[in-house]
Structure 1
Amino acid sequence: MSAENADTGGPHPPPVGGVLWSLAGDIRMLLTLPPAIALQVAHPAVGAGVDDHSVFRTDPWGRGERSLVSLQLWVYGGEGAAQEGRRLRRLHRTIQGTDAHGRTYHALTPACYAWVHATGYPVFRHVQRYLGRPFTEEQERRLYAEWLQVGRVLGIHDRDMPQTIEEFWPYYRRVLEEELEETAVVRELIATDPPLPVPDRGPRWVRLLLRLTWPWLRPGFARFRRFVTIGLMPPDARRAIGLEWTDVQERRLRRFGRVVRTVVPLLPERLRYMPVARRARRAARR
């Protein structure tokens, strides 16, 4: 049974001070999203839903910002976490259609909705080995338990998600082997020549500077996005989708990871954590 929040009629978010409390709002989370999203849309039904209904092509920066804020609310939102979960389910009610194989899909089909959520655990676990300290076995179990609780916040029933790590890995491997493929959306996310619009977030002077320099910055950004999307995806997922990754790229990723895990912990909290997380952490200390 999930823990219910008596004030909102929904599940509680994960506990203050838990594994996700330190992880979900850290700026390194920005590097976790590309591989997680690519792994999600490698499922044909999920990829078709994003292809048909998402604004990731026309408003990628707004879409990314909204996703980040939503994710942080699941962990740091307190009583608002369940409200955000209900909002997302309402948003997905009308997302349906036919995938590339002619099969009908609906975003709230339990198998699809659960898979989108399930991808977070193996990606967090894998990325931590590069950008932070590898989790101990106990931390991995706590992370999975907390991620299950986030799933409850999102309205995922316990019967639709493996309830232990021992149950998770056979489920995960089955989806990799039997269902994933390099969908059209995956190919777009790793393309090095995407028609990315100029970023439109941040202070006015930053937006102005980006408008002037984006033609030169865009190719490098696209190559970096491809690099972290493929490189920070768990190797078994890369192989299942058919994404190439070389030893040279792996060595480059390890060097990049050493820099990130050295520099980020030295940053002050106002730079290390994203706004929702920063406010929640400050309130928890009070």
Structure 2
Amino acid sequence: MTAAVAPIDHASRAARPERRPFDPDTRIWADTGLITFSLTAGSAFLLQTMEPSIAAVVDEHSTFRTDPLGRAFRSIASVMMWIYGGDEALAEADRLRVMHASLNTTDAHGVKHQALSSGPWAWVLHTAIHAFTEGNRYFSTEKLSEADKESYYQEVVQLMRNFSVAPKEIPATYAEWEPWFQDQVENHLVATTVAEDYLRVIRKIAPPKQVPAPLRPVWRAATTPIGKLQYFFTVGTTPEIIREKLGLTWTESDERTLRALGWIIGRTVPVLPERIRYFPIAYEARRLERDRARLRKIIDLRPM
């Protein structure tokens, strides 16, 4: 069964919104840079590794197995650029398209996969919507209304345009996106060895190559609790049907623990200093905008 979707009408070029950076007054600007982003990023990437073409390309080209921390840091920095990079945000989107243009492969069944195929390319950004709503559900004291979800969805639609996602891959509204997403999860995503490897990698964080062999036991002792927590958050914020496809266990006790941890996180993060609450690129972008606003105020008040 395929969910019916009414794509956004882009038939008229004159009516097509332009690619543009995000303004500081958008929700995507306020929320993406928070450190809680990392708590649901794992679920988003897991959903990506279950899309057949993405899984095939990641299996051959990604460094998530050999350099998991480096890949994670690079990915987070790139996402921060999408939102907070100003004009460089569009350059980052273009850089990623150029980089992915050559990331093609053929799987064991002889099926060819291309990273820039319209469906897989769009799916990466669609998983961000799931991550946002799950993050809000578990790790925020503010509960989203349907209007809030629609407003955020339209901001992600703009992000998709910045990445040149094909209009046919974009449901028109959040209300239409929900059944479309559910259909993708149920009928298109499959269990893959890449997804299984990813869950193993995040649970047991490999030390960077720079860590000397004598210090690796210390690394393992320090990172084991972090890995278990990241695995727990990833599994807990993943749709139930995906857990079933991957054979993952999630109990009522697990759910209560996740909600309890989320309650604590949701009330702790907002009172942290901004420098700690946000990732570095997001923090500096927010600080720069405040400086610009102060300068604008002084300019407006100058003697004439």
Q: Same fold (TM over 0.5)?
A: yes
2:151 is matched with which residue? Answer: 142
User: Conserved in 1, the CA contact under 8 Å of 2:36 and 2:135?
Assistant: no
Shifted more, 231-240 versus 127-136: the winner is: 231-240
Q: Superposed, which structure 2 residues align to 1:1-286 within 5 Å?
A: 1-4=15-18, 11-99=19-107, 101-132=109-140, 133-191=142-200, 196-199=205-208, 211=216, 213-239=218-244, 241-286=246-291
CA distance in structure 2 between the aligned counterparts of 1:223 and 1:2, rounded to whole angstroms: 45
CA distance in structure 2 between the aligned counterparts of 1:212 and 1:79, rounded to whole angstroms: 44
Provide the alpha-carbon RMSD of the alignment.
Answer: 2.5
Counterpart amino acid of residue 227 in structure 1: F
CA distance in structure 1 between the aligned counterparts of 2:279 and 2:185, rounded to whole angstroms: 32
User: Conserved in 1, the CA contact under 8 Å of 2:28 and 2:83?
Assistant: yes
User: Conserved in 2, the CA contact under 8 Å of 1:97 and 1:105?
Assistant: yes
Ranges in structure 1 where 5+ consecutive residues have no aligned partner: 5-10
CA distance in structure 2 between the aligned counterparts of 1:245 and 1:18, rounded to whole angstroms: 35
Cα distance change on mapping 1:49 and 1:267 into 2, 3 Å: same
Shifted more, 94-103 versus 130-139: the winner is: 94-103
Aligned length: 276
How many angstroms does 1:121 deviate by? 0.4
Ranges in structure 2 where 5+ consecutive residues have no aligned partner: 1-14, 292-304
Residues 218-237 of structure 1: CA deviation (Å, up to 9, x unaligned): 43333222211110123354
CA distance in structure 2 between the aligned counterparts of 1:256 and 1:195, rounded to whole angstroms: 21
- Name the SS for the 1:280 alignment partner: helix
Task: Specify the structure having the higher radius of gyration (Cα).
Answer: 2
Counterpart amino acid of residue 289 in structure 2: A
Shifted more, 159-168 versus 136-145: the winner is: 159-168
How many angstroms does 1:265 deviate by? 0.6
User: Conserved in 2, the CA contact under 8 Å of 1:44 and 1:99?
Assistant: no
Identity fraction in percent: 35
2:8 is matched with which residue? Answer: none
CA distance in structure 2 between the aligned counterparts of 1:193 and 1:126, rounded to whole angstroms: 19
Residues 25-54 of structure 1: CA deviation (Å, up to 9, x unaligned): 001011121111001111121111111100
Residues 4-38 of structure 1: CA deviation (Å, up to 9, x unaligned): 3xxxxxx1123322111111100101112111100
Cα distance change on mapping 1:118 and 1:37 into 2, 3 Å: same
- Name the SS for the 1:15 alignment partner: coil
CA distance in structure 2 between the aligned counterparts of 1:17 and 1:48, rounded to whole angstroms: 38
Shifted more, 68-77 versus 227-236: the winner is: 227-236
- Name the SS for the 2:63 alignment partner: coil
Cα distance change on mapping 1:207 and 1:273 into 2, 3 Å: farther
User: Conserved in 1, the CA contact under 8 Å of 2:43 and 2:235?
Assistant: yes
- Using structure 2 for the length normalisation, give the TM-score: 0.83
- Name the SS for the 1:57 alignment partner: coil
